[in-house]
Structure 1
Amino acid sequence: MYVKKFDLICNRQDCPNGKLTKDKFVDLYKMFFAWGQPEKFCEHVFRTFDMDGNGYIDFKEFLLALAITSEGSMQERLKWAFRMYDINGDGHIEKPEMTLIVQALYEMLGPAVKNLPVDTPEQRTQVIFDKMDSNKDGCLTLKEFLNGCLEDPTLAVLLNVNPMEQ
């Protein structure tokens, strides 16, 4: 099953060496989100998939990411999402990091954002931090992130981004 998905995404013509580049990754998202602008969001997802930071997603990274995002436990998927939101990789999510991801999601969703109950990425980030930042220090630890999502199913759905099912 995973081999077929990888072959569909990274065919021999587009990825002759079996390595999915960031540009090809963006092109794939554009097929699914033609009405929005997925480029910025793709950068964050790609960074999280490219676990060794070499600039492409190989088959092993693809398998691991797909297994976690589609078949992993809720906690595994949330840990993956945490890594995506933690842009600088310091083990904490600060408001500016989350705002960048939320902004990228809004841009990718395009007109569909009009249906969201909160108007701006900054407002959405503030709502999330109000619910999750238990010690009110302005950043989220993995523990706060997991606890917040597990205690509030709405937050879990909102933050547990599964790029392979978008």
Structure 2
Amino acid sequence: MVTECKQRSCDSPVSQLLKKTSEMSAMNRKLIQTLAETLSKEVEHFNKTEIECLIREFNELLGEPALPVRAAHGLDRGAFRTILHNMFGMTDDMIMDGVFRTFDKDKDGFISMREWIEGLSVFLRGTLGEKIKYCFDVYDLNGDRYISREEIIPMLKNSLIRQPTEEDPDEGLKDLVEITLKKMDQDHDGRISFEDFEKAVREENLLLEAFGTCLPDMTSIEAFDQNVFQKQLEQ
């Protein structure tokens, strides 16, 4: 009788569900490891273990921790903006849209798992050269491979703190735009090409984020490392 009860307990719907969940978790862990192994050979700056953590974080952000590899699309613009704000303290909608476009390589309106990992590789740990290209792409609002006066004005306007005693802030903004163009427009054609931007930044690194903050500061990077890499490894 005891043996029969034990058998019935093992075959109960709850037990079967727990067993199935355990099997699915094991399958997902194996699949994550396989994905991480592949991506670690293709993405710079992260090792296999860190990529596993980034995959899990991506699926947590999607709200699909149980089935991590079944995300049909990825993070949409709104969800990605929330991440940039909550994790990295970004507040400028125009810049956040630029970061989204730069991560979204295939331009389908979603950040896929691969795009998430490739984007963070540069965002968090990129070389100066990689960050120069990234920042240029963020600031190139219309994607024509130039940063024009018309693009610079709203970006600088959003990043400036308006003084209450300033009589004509737009006049000061126009002066700042002209000074910036004079500094960065190497070939004097009235717009900033990638070559112009790269040369100016390599001569003066502080110009990297000249048109708005689009990279995380060290405090945000350390917090991300702590919350995503170290905590997951401790679990």
TM superposition score category, shorter chain reference: 0.7 to 0.9
2:196 maps to 1:155: no
Matches of 1:2 and 1:153 in 2, distance apart? Answer: 29
Matches of 1:41 and 1:94 in 2, distance apart? Answer: 15
Counterpart residue number, 2:190: 138
Alignment of 1:62-141 (within 5 A): 62-104=116-158, 106=159, 113=161, 122-141=174-193
Q: TM-score, normalised by structure 1?
A: 0.74
Instruction: Assess if the C-alpha contact under 8 Å between 1:70 and 1:162 holds in 2.
Output: no
Task: Give the drift of 1:25.
Answer: 1.3
Q: Deviations over 1:61-107 (max 9, x none)?
A: 11111112222221111011111111222221111112233344x28
For structure 2, which runs of at least 5 residues remain unmatched after alignment? 1-49, 66-70, 164-168, 221-235
Q: Deviations over 1:28-84 (max 9, x none)?
A: 2333577x8433321111111111110110111111111122222211110111111
Three-state SS of the structure 2 residue aligned to 1:20 is coil
- % identical equivalent positions: 22
For structure 1, which runs of at least 5 residues remain unmatched after alignment? 108-112
2:80 maps to 1:31: no
Matches of 1:114 and 1:3 in 2, distance apart? Answer: 44
Counterpart residue number, 2:77: 22
Matches of 2:52 and 2:212 in 1, distance apart? Answer: 24
Q: Which has the larger radius of gyration?
A: 2
Matches of 2:191 and 2:205 in 1, distance apart? Answer: 20
Instruction: Assess if the C-alpha contact under 8 Å between 1:78 and 1:160 holds in 2.
Output: no
Instruction: Assess if the C-alpha contact under 8 Å between 1:29 and 1:38 holds in 2.
Output: no
Q: How many residue pairs are counted as aligned between the two chains? A: 156
Matches of 2:60 and 2:133 in 1, distance apart? Answer: 29
> For the structure 1 residues 13 and 94, does the alpha-carbon distance in structure 2 shift closer, same or farther, using more than 3 Å as the test?
closer
Relative to structure 2, which stretch is displaced further, 138-147 or 12-21?
12-21
Greater RCO, CA 8 A, separation 6+: 1
